[in-house]
Amino acid sequence: FNIVAWGSLAEICNQYLTKGQQVYIEGRLQSRNWEDSEGKRHTSIEVVANEMIMLGERRSQNEQPQESETDDEFPF
C-alpha cells in the first residue's frame, strides 16, 4: 500500500523517516482512481495515516539504515 500523510504528521515523517525503517501506521483506507496518458483507468488503495509510531532501535542522524534481504519481513 502507499501511505499518505498530511499536515504536521507529513512534516514529521519527512524529517525523521528513511526508506526501510520500521513504522506502525494507523489510518483509513482510501481508493484513488486516475487515468494515464494512454487513457487507461487505474485504481489504487492508499492508507491515509492519522498516527505514526517509529519502531526499532534509534539511530544517530549519520548512521545509514541497514538493508534487509526482503521488504516483507515482519517482527512476529
Distance (Å, rounded) from C-alpha 35 to C-alpha 4? 19
Flag whether the pTM goes above 0.85: no
The residue among 3 and 63 whose pLDDT is bigger is: 3
2-54 CATH? 2.40.50.140
Q: Is 69 helix (H, G, I), strand (E, B) or coil?
A: coil
The residue among 21 and 67 whose pLDDT is bigger is: 21
- Would you tell me how many other CB atoms lie within 10 Å of the CB of residue 5? 20
All three cell numbers of 51: 498516527
Domain ranges of the chain: 2-54
Please compute the mean of the pLDDT values over residues 45-62 and round it to a whole number.
Answer: 86
